[in-house]
Amino acid sequence: MRRILLALLSLAALAAPALAGPETLTVQAGKTSRELILYAPSSSRGPVPVVMVFHGGGGGADWMTGKSRGLTRTLTEAGYAVAFMNGSSRRDSEKLRTWNAVHCCAYAAKANINEAAYADAAVEALDQRLGIDRTRIFLMGHSNGAMLSYRLASAMKTAPRAIAPVSGAIFADQPDVPDRTSIFMYHAVDDEVLSYDGHPDDKAERWRTAPHLGFTKAEAKLAELKACGPAAPASAPAGLTATTRSCAGGSVLLATSAETGGHEWPARPKADYRIEQALLAFFDSQR
């Protein structure tokens, strides 16, 4: 039996090869230098689509990289480059970094960090390094990083093809989202850090300067901003609900909510739902 188990473990290791080593790029954003961690695609033909990943508040690029191995493998094997972006901290430590999403969070918001300048500089560095497909730039963020992705969509020099905010939020003053930018938004009903219904939460409210919109109201607000059509049910596993809208410019708004899963990344609401595969399918559809 022990030999059989060892053989099975060996086969599993072969089935999930180790990721190729990451590369750290340093970019100049305004008067400061900032880093990102890059995973190149396993193979590519022509310009490379890229997913820029923004960690949650209190994390960092290194932390998000460690938590996102499944996402990185899924995307790089499908031909995407994955860039883990790095927020700001008062002491420039590896952790406790945040993003300036205007109404959140902590140091980055108080210091009014120019996140668009960083994202634009990262696009230039990635293009120089890989030769990226500027028509297929995607933003994926968790929590504070998800809040930022909503804001960056209209602030970057090159509008992203799609954004994928996971367990994030928008505020009442959410700016317009470009016509070409599709949205994949995900939230769990039992999220106790950033509430699904928009109610204040003592655990995290001190980091925000304005109340966030609940998931349903946020979806309706985004549909209005993007001139979307009516919502239609989309297929989803038991325990999840999804709707989709066709919007101006040929973009789409896909909203998925889960009964369970909390505020964790990666989101694991059901054993038969893997958010990494859902994100890949969504990005692949945006051509």
- pLDDT tens for the chain, residues 1 to 287: 444 444 443 444 444 455 677 999 999 998 889 999 999 999 888 999 999 999 999 999 999 999 999 999 999 999 999 999 999 999 877 789 999 999 999 999 999 999 999 999 999 999 999 999 999 999 999 999 999 999 999 999 999 999 999 999 999 999 999 999 999 999 999 999 999 999 876 555 566 889 999 999 999 999 999 999 999 999 999 999 999 999 999 999 999 999 999 999 999 998 889 999 999 999 999 98
Q: How many residues does the chain have?
A: 287
Listed by start position, the domains of the chain span: 18-285
Q: Which residues contact 16 (CB under 8 A, 6 or more apart)?
A: 73
Spatial distance between the Cα atoms of 102 and 88, rounded to a whole number of angstroms = 14
Q: Does domain 18-285 have CATH number 3.40.50.1820?
A: yes
Specify burial of residue 146 (Cβ count, 10 A radius: 0-12, 13-18, 19+): buried
For the chain, how far is it from start to end, CA to CA, in angstroms? 49
* Whole-number pLDDT of residue 94: 77
DSSP character at residue 211: P
Give the residue from 100, 105, 68, 77 showing the smallest Cα distance to 193: 105
Give the residue from 54, 53, 23 showing the smallest Cα distance to 130: 23
* Whole-number pLDDT of residue 208: 80
CA 216 vs. chain centroid, Å, equals: 19
String of DSSP letters for 138-186? EEEEETHHHHHHHHHTTTSSS--SEEEEES---BTTPPP--TT-EEEEE
* Whole-number pLDDT of residue 21: 76
What are the two backbone dihedrals, phi and then psi, of residue 249, each rounded to the nearest 5 degrees?
Answer: 75, 10
Give SS3 for 224. Answer: helix
Give the residue from 116, 114, 110 showing the smallest Cα distance to 206: 110
